[in-house]
C-alpha cells in the first residue's frame, strides 16, 4: 500500500494498526444509503479486502442519498460502481463483488466461505438481517447491523449499542423480538432514538414509501465503519 495514502491514518492508529487493517477483510451486505458510506470509509481507512454484496442496480430515487448513485450510474449494478469507486481510492485494495440478494437458509454457508474478519449488515429486510446475524454467529464472526435510517431528520440522534438496549426505533423493536426468540443477544447495532416522521402516502401505493435525505443514512454508515475499525483493532 502507498505509504502516503495512510500517513494521516497512521498518526492516529499507528503503523501496527494500519498493517492490521491492510490484512483485514470486511463483508458488507447492502450498498444503499448506509452501506455505501460504510464501504467508502473502510476503503479510505485502509482495509485491505472488501467483499460487497447487493443484488440491486441504481435508479434515480437513489441519487439523493446513496454514494454511488449519480446521473451517469443510474441503471448500473451497485456492486460494480462501488468496486470501481474504492479501487479509485486505493488501487491496491482487493474487492470481491457478489451481485445477489442474501437469502438465508440456502445452505451455501456464504458468509463462512467469504472468510471475513467482520460483517456489516446494511440491508433493509428483517428476514435477511436475522439470517445474516444467525450465520455470522454460527461462523464466529463479529457483525454489526444497521437499524432504520428512513423517515428521520436528525442524524445526531444515531448511536451505537447492543440490540437489547435499543428503544424507539421500530425496526430495532422487531429485530429484538426475532433475535430474542432465537437466543441471540449482544449484537452491536446503529440505531436512532428519533421518532420516525410519518411520510405522506404516495399516490397509488398501498403503503407510503420511506422518506430519506442525504445527511441521515450517511451518518449511520460512518458510525458503522468506525465501530468496525475500532473492533478490528481492539480499541475500546
Q: Are strands 49-53 and 25-29 parallel, antiparallel or unpaired?
A: parallel
CA-wise closest residue to 113 among 215, 190, 27: 27
Please list the pLDDT of the chain residue by residue as tens digits (236 residues). Answer: 567 889 999 999 999 999 999 999 999 999 999 999 999 999 999 999 999 999 999 999 999 999 999 999 999 999 999 999 999 999 999 999 999 999 887 757 899 999 999 999 999 999 999 999 999 999 999 999 999 999 999 999 999 999 999 999 999 999 999 999 999 999 999 999 999 998 876 655 566 789 999 999 999 999 999 999 999 999 98
CB-based burial, 6-28: b 16+ in 10 Å, e otherwise: beebbeebeeebbbbbbebbbbb
The CATH number linked to 120 is 3.40.50.720
Domain count along the chain: 1
Residue 118 has φ and ψ, to the nearest 5°, of: -155, 150
* 184 contacts 230 by C-beta, under 8 angstroms: no
Task: Write the CB contacts of 227 (distance below 8 Å, at least 6 apart in sequence).
Answer: 144, 160, 188, 190
pTM of structure: 0.95
Which residues span the domain enclosing 44?
3-232
Amino acid at each position: 500500500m502507498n505509504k502516503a495514502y495512510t500517513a494521516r491514518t497512521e498518526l492516529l492508529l499507528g503503523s501496527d494498526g494500519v498493517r492490521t487493517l491492510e490484512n483485514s477483510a470486511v463483508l458488507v451486505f447492502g450498498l444503499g444509503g448506509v452501506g455505501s458510506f460504510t464501504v467508502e470509509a473502510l476503503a479510505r481507512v485502509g482495509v485491505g479486502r472488501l467483499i460487497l454484496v447487493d443484488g440491486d442496480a441504481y435508479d434515480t430515487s437513489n441519487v439523493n442519498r446513496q454514494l454511488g448513485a449519480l446521473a451517469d450510474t443510474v441503471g448500473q449494478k451497485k456492486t460494480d460502481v462501488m468496486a470501481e469507486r474504492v479501487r479509485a481510492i486505493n488501487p491496491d485494495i482487493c474487492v470481491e463483488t457478489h451481485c445477489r440478494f442474501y437469502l438465508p437458509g440456502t445452505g451455501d454457508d456464504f458468509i463462512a466461505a467469504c472468510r471475513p474478519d467482520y460483517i456489516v449488515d446494511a440491508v433493509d429486510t428483517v428476514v435477511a438481517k436475522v439470517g445474516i446475524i444467525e450465520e455470522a454467529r454460527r461462523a464466529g464472526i463479529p457483525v454489526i447491523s444497521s437499524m432504520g435510517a428512513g423517515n428521520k431528520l436528525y442524524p445526531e440522534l444515531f448511536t451505537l449499542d447492543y440490540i437489547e438496549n435499543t428503544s424507539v426505533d421500530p425496526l430495532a423493536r422487531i429485530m429484538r423480538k426475532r433475535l430474542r426468540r432465537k437466543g441471540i443477544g449482544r449484537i452491536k447495532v446503529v440505531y436512532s432514538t428519533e421518532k420516525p416522521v410519518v411520510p405522506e402516502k404516495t399516490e397509488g401505493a398501498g403503503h407510503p414509501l420511506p422518506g430519506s435525505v442525504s445527511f441521515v443514512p450517511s451518518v449511520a454508515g460512518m458510525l458503522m465503519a468506525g465501530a468496525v475499525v475500532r473492533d478490528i483493532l481492539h480499541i475500546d
